[in-house]
Amino acid sequence: MWGINDPSIYLGYLLAVLSLLLCVWYGAKNWNNGRETDEQEIREDEAWELKDEQLKEQL
């Protein structure tokens, strides 16, 4: 098929496509999931990010 005779090459391409589809499926399914909702956690995350930015800026 498609000019290739070795099944292990087919399998490689097939698994690459399946891995791609897994990523697309997972990303699409969870596109809006995982956002921080807890006020306390958001504040902690912001404090971490602020420090990280400051460290980068100093560097």
Partner 1 sequence: MNTFSLGLVVITYLLVIAYLGYVGFKNTKTANDYLLGGREIHPFVMAISYGATFISTSAIIGFGGVAGVYGMGLIWLTVLNIFIGVFIAFVFFGRRTRKMGHNLDAHTFPEFLGNRFQSKKIQMFSGGIIFLAMPLYAAVVLVGGARFIESIFEIDFSIALTFFSLVIAAYVIAGGLKGVMYTDALQGGIMFLSLFFLLAMTYFKLGGVSGAHEALTNMANLVPEPLQAKGHQGWTAFPRMGSAWWWVLTTNIILGVGIGVLAQPQLVVRFMTVKSNRELNRAVLIGGIFIFVVTGFIYTVGALSNLYFFQQTGKLAIEVGQGNVDLIIPEYLNAAMPEWFVYLFMLALLSAGMSTLSSQFHTMGTAIGRDLFENLFRGKTLNSMLISRIGIVVAILVSIVIGYNLPIGIVARGTAIFFGICAAAFLPAYFGGLYWKGATRAGAQWSMLAGLLGSAFMLAMVHQSEAAPLGICQAIFGKDFLIDQFPWMIIDPIMIALPLSTLVMIGVSMMTQKVEPKHLDVCLKGIR
Residues that bind partner 1 (CB under 8 A): 2-6, 8-9, 12-13, 15-17, 19-20, 22-24, 26-28, 30-36, 38, 41, 44-46, 48-59
Tell the smallest beta-carbon distance from residue 26 to partner 1 (Å): 5
What is the C-alpha separation between 55 and 32, in angstroms, rounded?
A: 30
Tell the smallest beta-carbon distance from residue 22 to partner 1 (Å): 6
Helix (H) / strand (E) element for 51: namely helix 39-58
What is the C-alpha separation between 56 and 28, in angstroms, rounded?
A: 33
Tell the smallest beta-carbon distance from residue 20 to partner 1 (Å): 4
